[in-house]
Amino acid sequence: MMVSTRRFVISYAILLAALVLVFLFNVGFGSADIGAGEILSIIFGKEGGSGDSSGYIIIQRIRLPRALASIAAGGALALAGLLLQTFFANPIVDSYVLGVSSGSTLVVGFVMLGGYAFGFRRLPPAALVSGAFLGAVLIMAVILFAARRVKSIVTLLIIGLMCGYLCSAGTGILSAFAEKEQIARFSIWAMGNFSGITWPQLRVLYAFTLPLAAAAFLLGKPLNALNMGENYAVSMGINVKQLRGLIILISSLLTASVTAFAGPVSFIGLAVPHICRVLFRTQDARILTPGVALGGALMASLCDFVARTVVSPVELPLGSVTALAGAPLVVWLLSRRRYES
Q: Which backbone phi and psi does 91 adopt, to 5 degrees?
A: -75, -10
Asked, for residue 119, whether it belongs to a domain, the answer is: yes
Per-residue pLDDT averaged across 237-242, rounded? 84
In-domain check, residue 10: yes
**Largest alpha-carbon pair distance within the chain?**
66
Instruction: Return the amino acid letter for 259.
Output: T
Most confident of 5-9, 85-89, 111-115, 297-301: 297-301
Residue-level pLDDT at 333: 64
For the cut 50, the answer to whether the pLDDT of residue 1 exceeds it is no
Tell me which amino acid residue 18 is. A
Top pLDDT among 119 and 269 is at 269
Residue 135 has pLDDT above 90, yes or no: no
Q: Pick the more confident residue, 231 or 216.
A: 216
Q: What is the model's pTM?
A: 0.86
- Residue 221 inside a domain? The answer is yes
Domain tally, the chain:
1
The stretch 100-113 carries a mean pLDDT of 82
170: number of CA atoms within 13 Å, CB side?
19
Question: Does residue 103 lie in a domain region?
Answer: yes
What is the domain range of residue 125?
Answer: 2-336
pLDDT at residue number 172: 85
Give me the pLDDT at residue 147, please: 74
Q: What per-residue confidence (pLDDT) applies to 306? A: 92
What residue type is 52 in one-letter code? D
pLDDT above 50 (res 12): yes
Q: What is the pLDDT of residue 217?
A: 93
CATH number for the domain harbouring residue 17: 1.10.3470.10
Beta carbons within 10 angstroms of residue 302's beta carbon = 21
Answer whether residue 341 is part of any domain.
no
Confidence of residue 126 (pLDDT cuts 50, 70, 90): low
From CA 63, how far away is CA 328, in angstroms rounded? 29
Residue 176 forms part of a structural domain: yes
Q: How many CA atoms within 13 Å lie on the side-chain side of 340? A: 7
- pLDDT for residue 208 is more than 80: yes
What's the one-letter identity of residue 154?
V
Question: Is a pLDDT exceeding 70 seen at residue 240?
Answer: yes
How many residues are recorded in the chain?
341
Of the listed ranges 167-171, 222-226, 256-260, 303-307, the least confidently predicted one is: 256-260
pLDDT at 48 over 50: no
